[in-house]
Amino acid sequence: MENVFHSTLTNPQISKVLRVRLTYCSIVLFVLLASFISISVHRYVGKTLATSIIALEISEAQALKTAEEEIPEESSVSLAVKKGDTLNTILKGQNLPNSDIGQILSLIKNKNINPSLKHGKQITFDYEIKIIESDDNDLTEETRTLTKLTIAIDKTNSLEIIREGDDFIAKNTSIKLNKFLTKTSVVIGTNFMSALKSIGLTTNSIIQLINSYSYQIDFQRQIQAGDTATVILEKFATEDGDFSHYGKILYASLNLSGKEYNIYNYSHNNSHDNHSFFSENGKSVKRSLLRTPVNLVRISSNYGNRMHPTLGFTKMHKGIDFAAPTGTPIYAAGHGVISEIGWKSGYGNFVQIKHSPTLSTAYAHASKFAKNLKPGSTVKQGQVIAYVGSTGRATGAHLHYEVKIDGKHVNPMSIKTTPGIELTGTQLTKFGQFKKKINLLVNKLDKNIEIAENSVNSLN
């Protein structure tokens, strides 16, 4: 037996096998021990981290709850004034307490404040909102308190009604705006007004241009697709550079089929409140009579003999018919006094204006008249006197327009009118200097450089 054992220990092959097995067992034991230590450490760290996260979440929840209780949330609601709105209905629509509504209305009445609720103007309500939790954390209650009411008056001014304790106070605020000159151009497509609206001009500015050009341009026949319009006008922006609105037009140029029509907004009597548009030669574009007393319409029947559409026989047509939608404003063609207004047989609603001892104009088929007009009323050129309709003997909505000279009907389109103002002498020289400044601006603004207010004020 001893010999067998001894032979085993001394056998080189058997000794090698034992050494390999011992090494393998040592490795397995080491791996098992390392795994055990790793799992234990991981569990310990995970448990500790989870405890820390839970504690952090509880801490954050408590902090959030405290913040909600101590720092109220601010909320703002803006709306646009709609047709028929009153301040009372708007306030009730916000579900304000009757006490707040009563105080606000009384404040406006007692202070003789005009809230100026114009259609489309913005009204903003600022609220303080508090969220209160009950002790059992199951129920919450939200309280909303009006802190400020802001009513926009115009582009820069507004009325603020501010809560002070249990009462309200009112104050007027204004935004400071910077004024620049800018230039903009557009290619006319199918509609002149739509083209100018696309570059940001307001309806009032566009109508001003149409009225100014209507003495020399037939907008129905001369405006073609591809013609261009260019204007230099005032631009207003906040101190932060945010665009507010466009102001007065200083210069306009229409390029119609290659021919340019330039007009300049110039104060000829050193009064900044009395500007008129002048042509290149120093003559005001405003004439003794408007070429057309309605804007952007179609001539549906010319002056002269024609087959009458309702009577069925040839008859002298003593005026011009302008087809336009019902309700389109009709303007006085010139300064004068209303000599007749009311219903007149086949003319329907009829207005006649006497401009001089020898000149008068007439307007027929109106749907209604402008307010506060009667025989003897003085009207200015371009003033709205009535609105297009189809009253009397008419087959559709249109304006029938007549002109009489010395009591006889004449073709309104054949009348040669004279400019309202014609600059001469020193005035013409000053206008020439003004025109040079504008022309320099035209070139400078081609480089997309806006001109600051000091340059604006030095122009005229």
pLDDT tens profile 166-217? 899 999 888 888 888 999 999 998 888 889 999 888 888 888 888 788 778 8
Q: Is 41 helix (H, G, I), strand (E, B) or coil?
A: helix
Amino acid code (one letter) for 200: G
Domain count, the chain: 3
Print the domain residue range for 331: 298-414
Residue 141: in which H helix or E strand, if any? Answer: strand 140-152
DSSP code of residue 135: T
Domain shared by 260 and 280, yes or no: yes
Domain shared by 198 and 263, yes or no: yes
The pLDDT of residue 445 is: 83
Is 13 inside a domain boundary?
Answer: no
Residue that terminates a domain, selected from 157, 174, 191 = 174
pLDDT tens figures, 377-406? 999 988 999 999 999 988 889 999 999 988
Domain shared by 342 and 384, yes or no: yes
Is 204 inside a domain boundary?
Answer: yes
Residue that terminates a domain, selected from 396, 414, 432 = 414
Domain shared by 373 and 271, yes or no: no
User: Average pLDDT, whole number, for the chain?
Assistant: 80
Domain shared by 196 and 166, yes or no: no
Domain shared by 103 and 151, yes or no: yes
Domain shared by 188 and 245, yes or no: yes
Q: Is 116 helix (H, G, I), strand (E, B) or coil?
A: coil
CA 319 vs. chain centroid, Å, equals 39
Alpha-carbon Rg for the chain, nearest whole angstrom, is 41
Is 93 inside a domain boundary?
Answer: yes
The pLDDT of residue 2 is: 43
Domain shared by 91 and 240, yes or no: no
Query: 271: pLDDT confidence band, cut at 50, 70 and 90?
Result: very low
Domain shared by 311 and 357, yes or no: yes
How far is CA 356 from each of CA 353, 361, 412, rounded to the nearest angstrom?
9, 10, 16
pLDDT tens figures, 311-354? 554 567 788 999 999 999 999 998 899 999 999 989 999 999 99
DSSP code of residue 452: P
The domain that holds 385 is classified in CATH as 2.70.70.10
Lowest-pLDDT choice from 33-37, 242-246, 415-419, 453-457 = 453-457
Is 65 inside a domain boundary?
Answer: no
Q: For 80-102, b where at least 16 C-beta lie within 10 A, e where not — what string?
A: ebeeebebeebbeebebeeebbe
The domain that holds 116 is classified in CATH as 3.10.450.350
Residue that terminates a domain, selected from 174, 198, 232 = 174
Q: Is residue 158 left, alpha or beta, with left meaning phi > 0 and alpha meaning psi from -120 to 50?
A: beta
Domain shared by 203 and 218, yes or no: yes
Is 230 inside a domain boundary?
Answer: yes
Please measure the distance between the N-terminal and C-terminal CA atoms of the chain and give it in whole angstroms: 133
Is 23 inside a domain boundary?
Answer: no
316 forms beta bridges with 305
CA 385 vs. chain centroid, Å, equals 27
Domain shared by 164 and 187, yes or no: no
Question: Cβ contacts of residue 143 below 8 Å, gap of 6+?
Answer: 129, 130, 132
Cβ atoms < 10 Å from Cβ of 189 = 12
Domain shared by 95 and 190, yes or no: no
Is 202 inside a domain boundary?
Answer: yes
